[in-house]
Amino acid sequence: MNQTITAPKAPAAVGPYCHAKLAGNTLYTSGQLGLIPAAGKLPEGVEAQAAQALDNLGAVLEAAGMGLTDVVKTTVFLADMKDFSAVNAVYAKYFPGEAPARSCVQVAALPMGALFEIEAVAVR
Q: Just list the catalytic residues.
A: 104
Look at residues 73, 70, 76 and name the one whose alpha carbon lies nearest to residue 88: 76
N-term to C-term CA, the chain? 16
**Residue 23 and residue 17 in contact, taking contact as beta carbons nearer than 8 Å:** no
User: Pairing between strand 71-78 and 101-106?
Assistant: parallel
Specify the 3-state DSSP secondary structure of 1: coil
Alpha carbon distance 120, 102 (integer Å): 9
